[in-house]
Amino acid sequence: MELLPEFEIRQPKTAEEAVALGAEADARYIGGGTDFVPNLRRGLETPSTVVDLSEVSEMQQIEETENGLKIGASVSLQQLISNELVIKQYALLAQAAETIAGTTHRQSATVGGNLCLDTRCQFYNQSEWWRKSNNYCLKYRGDICHVAPQGDICRAAYSGDLAPAMMVYGAKVELVSAAGKRVIDLKDMYQEDGANYLLLNPGELLVAVIIERLDGYNTEYRKVRVRGGVDFPLVGVAVAAKSNAGKLEDIRIALTGTNSRPVFVEGAEESFGKPVDEETIKALVKLVRVQSKPMRSTFTPGSYRSKVVVNVARRLINQLL
Amino acid sequence: MRQSSKSVHEVTVNGRRRESVVPPNMLLIDYLREELRLTGTKTGCDGGECGACTVLVDGKPMLSCITLVSKVNGKEVETVESLSENGRLSSLQRMFHEKLGTQCGFCTPGVIMASEALLRKNANPSDEEIRKALEGNLCRCTGYVKILESVKAVAEAGAAR
């Protein structure tokens, strides 16, 4: 690990103050810092100002809304999984949050931090000397993606566990910048580019995520990883499904670890109203196969993760319908 | 190279309130080990993966190697040095000694602080709860069985604080 670079720390009390500071050149926001600080230590970030969000009290609340929850971006993962409402009514969310990192990380790691989690790659999450000896990479300081050298896009994998979970609850995010506030669908916050995976404007701050309650759905999140604790997902699959009298009413499938963005599987609505049988399940699994694109960004080959994501999705769909 | 400005931080470490002038990029582990010479807390992986640097902040386990000192300003930090009383091992420390929960000892301060946090919340944890609480702590010697038995022994003796 490298020594930390020199930077200033600011600790604003309100989101408004935070975005004013975040608008400065080379400013970076820090939540719990469980991913950001290791990245700083690896020389992957060189901010001039670090805006610490831990004293912004308006971002630390979990509020019940008319048909769901509004969760502040600075809510810690431990707070999230200890919240009675989350445990009772958003089981999949609690399940996903509980698989993130380790017990100790979850005390400080935040909801916003996990949603904005930097994409990961075996050629990126390395020390400065390692990356330098490999001529760096497209995501940072280099001009070639070692995962897909023919391409012109970074293939680092998005690895946050909360995003797919939030997506099945129809999540929207509240974003604040000096220009004002906007609310967008969570899935529109990401794009398929590992180096620029977040569609946020410079200095824009994620302050809250808004989710809707799912009534009458069977839900489950399953994560596959090498080490049972702490590790990032090789793949993560969130499924919420509802059927009535043997017919599929609704199914929402979201993935992580497979692409440079969390993937909300599109096209499931074509199976709505059809009988829950082998053919319908096959069609849903095919959507997962086609839309997931694991690459050689981890120590396991992409072909392995392709098989895993398809099989995990098939198992969950079978189990929940 | 930019020169960042130092500022005064008030941190209570092992019951003693301290005012220290530290640079904004100082990590808690370096503050504890280099400034205060509390070398019980260990630097292992140096990136938040092994848990050897675990300390308690306001009673919650935190990884001091990925925590900036500014994050603990005004808070209470406890390290493994705080556990013994009048030179005698705490019951948790004694059990790690008696049940061979420690071998080379490098991960032990982190494992003990994570266990301490668990036992304060839950004086009689199940095996599953102990495993969960210690999932972020790597040990390359014991194979974890002896660690589990050590924590269990404290709970069974009813000696948890």
What is the average pLDDT value for chain A, to the nearest integer?
96
Asked if A157 and A121 count as a contact pair (C-beta separation under 8 A), the reply is yes
For the cut 50, the answer to whether the pLDDT of residue A192 exceeds it is: yes
With CB atoms and an 8 Å threshold, state whether A34 touches B66: yes
With CB atoms and an 8 Å threshold, state whether B47 touches A50: no
Report pLDDT for A101: 96
pLDDT tens for A66-95 read: 999 999 999 999 999 999 999 999 999 999
- B25-53: average pLDDT: 96
B91-98 and B108-121 helices cross at what angle (nearest 10)?
Answer: 130
Residue A34 in contact with partner chain B when CB distance is under 8 A: yes
For the cut 90, the answer to whether the pLDDT of residue B46 exceeds it is: no
For the cut 70, the answer to whether the pLDDT of residue B1 exceeds it is: no
pLDDT tens for A194-214 read: 999 999 999 999 999 999 999
Separation between Cα atoms, residue B134 and residue B118, nearest integer Å: 9
Chain A residues whose CB is inside 8 A of the B25 CB are 4-7
Q: Which residues pair with B86 in a beta bridge?
A: none
Q: Which of A11, A52, A105 sits opposite B63 (nearest CB)?
A: A105
With CB atoms and an 8 Å threshold, state whether A9 touches B70: yes
For the cut 50, the answer to whether the pLDDT of residue A42 exceeds it is: yes
> How many cross-chain Cβ pairs, A to B, lie less than 8 Å apart?
85
Chain B residues whose CB is inside 8 A of the A230 CB are 49, 135-136
Report pLDDT for B5: 83
Give the start-to-end residue ranges of the domains of chain B.
7-82, 91-156
Report pLDDT for B160: 47
Interface test with B, best of A11, A39, A42, A103 (most B CBs within 10 A): A103
Q: Which fold has domain B7-82?
A: Ubiquitin-like (UB roll) (3.10.20)
The alpha carbon of residue A237 is apart from the nearest alpha carbon of chain B, in Å, by 22
Q: Please determine, for the modelled complex, whether the ipTM score is greater than 0.85.
A: yes
Report percent pLDDT > 70 for chain A: 100
Asked if B96 and B108 count as a contact pair (C-beta separation under 8 A), the reply is yes
pLDDT category of residue B159 using cuts at 50, 70 and 90? low
With CB atoms and an 8 Å threshold, state whether A38 touches B134: no
Q: Which of B27, B49, B136 sits opposite A4 (nearest CB)?
A: B27
pLDDT category of residue A50 using cuts at 50, 70 and 90? very high
Interface test with A, best of B135, B138, B139, B144 (most A CBs within 10 A): B135
Q: Give the Å distances, CA to CA, from A194 to A29, A166, A225, A232, A302.
A: 19, 20, 20, 16, 15
pLDDT category of residue A3 using cuts at 50, 70 and 90? confident
Separation between Cα atoms, residue A151 and residue A67, nearest integer Å: 44
Element spanning B57, H or E: strand B54-57
Separation between Cα atoms, residue B84 and residue B105, nearest integer Å: 16
Report pLDDT for A94: 98
Residue A33 in contact with partner chain B when CB distance is under 8 A: yes
Q: Encoding tokens for residue B156?
A: 């069974």
With CB atoms and an 8 Å threshold, state whether B68 touches A33: yes
Residues 6+ apart with CB under 8 A from B127: B148, B152
- B60-82: average pLDDT: 97
Report pLDDT for B97: 96
Report pLDDT for A299: 87
For A:208-237, CB contacts with B below 8 A are 228-230
Domain range B91-156, CATH class: mainly alpha
DSSP A268: G
pLDDT tens for A247-293 read: 999 999 999 999 999 999 999 999 999 999 999 999 999 999 999 99
pLDDT category of residue A172 using cuts at 50, 70 and 90? very high
What is the residue-wise DSSP string for A108-129? H-BHHHHHTPPPB-TTTSS-HH
